[in-house]
Structure 1
Amino acid sequence: MNTYTYAAVSPPGHGTPAMAFGRHVIRMMAANTGGSLGMFEAFVSAGEGPPLHMHEREDEFLRVLAGHFGFWCAGDYVELTEGGCIALPRGVPHRFRNVGKTEGRLMVVVTPGGFESFFPIVELCKPETPEQIASVARDFGLTFPPEEEREVA
């Protein structure tokens, strides 16, 4: 990992596309920030979003760039539109969904960095079964609560 002694920059229109679980653009890699953070944009279709999940390694900061999103975390629910922000702690099950009628867009910052590589790896590996997806996810410290516990959020 490089030492983080220079500004990490992602000019408009730049980034590495990743088509896994929807469209993502990786804007900043942990390798460019000495591991401090990673950043990506997620383009989320209306009605879509990840299932309840938990990050073991990183905190997550999300800013709504476009659209209308619902966020569930630790029994709380909040809706945010363009400009709204939410910070989600590691180790706490959470999820979000685009509750709007059009595609939405989120800026996601993870700290420490590393999770931003999940989407390019999934795109490369192309896991097909829930077990294969869970295996790749575990490599990134990402877990999905058992089905019977998913009603919590």
Structure 2
Amino acid sequence: MPQRAIDTRVNPSDEIIATKGLTVRFLLTGDDSKGSIAAFELMVPAAQRLPAPAHSHDHYEETIYGIDGVLTWMVDGKQIDVGPGQALCIPRGAVHRFDNYGGEDAKMLCVITPAAIGPAYFREVFGVVDAAAGGPPDRARLAEIMRRHGLTPAVPPT
């Protein structure tokens, strides 16, 4: 059986996916790494809140490395600020979300191991956010997309 040629160029999956200021730039996907890793830049404008609900994932770790600005992460109820040169590993099963409460745009490198999520997830979620035309996105639709891509939406507090 012939072996598939491996793409050894820099940023083989260079793709930008954006909505309302929130931007994801995929660098590597599971297709580029035989499923071992996905990596993307996450850019969040100043004073931007995440439009999707808090969530967890049981099949992969998510490691965040700060490049510019500060994102405030909530991980299992604990607030953690991640700034330039800092890394945060979000373990499997931990409920988390982020917001940019600061006055400066934030840029993070996100690494998913193994590569259980890719650009298709962000294309779908950002489509729902765009369809909301400035209003709140359809939370039921977001939850369905999240579940289909291996994320578990957190139950909102009562």
TM-score category of the 2 structures, normalised to the smaller one: 0.7 to 0.9
RMSD of aligned alpha carbons: 2.7
Q: What SS does structure 2 have at the residue aligned with 1:115?
A: coil
Q: Quick one: distance in 2 between partners of 1:4 and 1:142?
A: 31
Q: Quick one: distance in 2 between partners of 1:129 and 1:6?
A: 38
User: Following TM superposition, where does structure 1 have runs of at least 4 consecutive aligned residues deviating by more than 4 angstroms?
Assistant: 2-8, 123-128
Report the CA distance shift for 1:134/1:25 in structure 2 as closer, same or farther (over 3 A): same
Q: CA deviation at 1:7?
A: 5.0
Instruction: Say whether the 8 Å CA contact 1:69–1:96 is kept in structure 2.
Output: yes
Structure 1 unpaired stretches of 5+:
none
* Structure-2-length-normalised TM-score: 0.78
The answer to whether 1:85 aligns with 2:87 is yes
How many residue pairs are counted as aligned between the two chains?
Answer: 146
Q: CA deviation at 1:124?
A: 5.7
Q: What SS does structure 1 have at the residue aligned with 2:41?
A: strand
Q: CA deviation at 1:65?
A: 0.9
* Structure-1-length-normalised TM-score: 0.81
Larger deviation, residues 133-142 vs 66-75: 66-75
Instruction: Say whether the 8 Å CA contact 2:65–2:108 is kept in structure 1.
Output: yes
Q: Quick one: distance in 1 between partners of 2:152 and 2:75?
A: 15
Instruction: Say whether the 8 Å CA contact 1:24–1:43 is kept in structure 2.
Output: yes
Q: What SS does structure 1 have at the residue aligned with 2:140?
A: helix
Report the CA distance shift for 1:3/1:108 in structure 2 as closer, same or farther (over 3 A): farther
Q: CA deviation at 1:76?
A: 2.5
What residue is the counterpart of 1:16 in the other structure? Answer: 15
What residue is the counterpart of 1:70 in the other structure? Answer: 72
Q: Quick one: distance in 1 between partners of 2:24 and 2:126?
A: 11
Amino acid at match of 2:23: R
Q: CA deviation at 1:73?
A: 1.4
Q: CA deviation at 1:9?
A: 3.2
Amino acid at match of 2:40: F
Amino acid at match of 2:37: L
Query: CA deviation digits over 1:119-144, x for unaligned, max 9?
Result: 12334676651111111111111122
